Chain A
Amino acid sequence: EAGVVQSPRYKIIEKKQPVAFWCNPISGHNTLYWYRQNLGQGPELLIRYENEEAVDDSQLPKDRFSAERLKGVDSTLKIQPAELGDSAVYLCASSLHQARPPIGYTFGSGTRLTVV
């Protein structure tokens, strides 16, 4: 069974350019998370989806970041325009359902974004 799949693995862009990341969660996992991890830090949640609904986007910088999960399966995270401070690893995770704690919390390989 494939795990959480993310693409691309690496991305280098100039500041002010747009960029998009894609995530396909584990089949059957209805909860999807996007995290951002700065160098030397732990991951920080950007947005959490339950099926196609964004139930927690309080940490998403909405002036430049957007996300969608139209059919409740795969998801896209976009930054427009990118800033130098957006350089980080963007991680996608999925879990089985909205349990406490979440079950089967699994991460993808991440996308390492460098903004120059």
Chain B
Amino acid sequence: SQELEQSPQSLIVQEGKNLTINCTSSKTLYGLYWYKQKYGEGLIFLMMLQKGGEEKSHEKITAKLDEKKQQSSLHITASQPSHAGIYLCGAGLGQGAQKLVFGQGTRLTINP
């Protein structure tokens, strides 16, 4: 079973609409990273959250880590074609927090 569950697995939205991607764990998260990936390429760092309740924003992307540190959400406001891609959450979990484990990714398509 997946240690980190992302939802939805795929998302198609109209350009200009808002959207949210969720990342959920059954274990306490020691640092939650959000990355964006183009098909078959490397991961581009978006932001990192460490503290429960923390929220960070970069341009039109906002990420939050919930108070109990077991879920994070990524919200995109007024989506643009450049936001299309695969979004991955990665986290240090429990005793193995020295490395990141990843969710299965959310494929985002933006329709013009």
Contact = CB atoms under 8 A, between A and B. Distances in A.
Contacts, number: 73
A4 B78 CA distance: 32
A21 interface: no
Contacts of B90: 42-43, 105
A93 B90 CA distance: 13
A45 B42 contact: no
B35 A101 contact: no
Interface of A: 4, 6, 31, 33, 40-45, 48, 56, 89, 91, 93, 98-102, 105-110, 112
29 contacts: A4-B42, A6-B42, A31-B98, A33-B99, A40-B105, A42-B6, A42-B88, A43-B90, A43-B102, A45-B99, A56-B98, A89-B41, A91-B42, A91-B43, A93-B43, A99-B98, A100-B30, A100-B31, A101-B91, A101-B97, A102-B92, A102-B99, A102-B100, A105-B45, A106-B45, A107-B45, A109-B41, A110-B41, A112-B40
Interface of B: 4, 6, 30-31, 33, 35, 40-45, 48, 50, 88, 90-92, 97-105
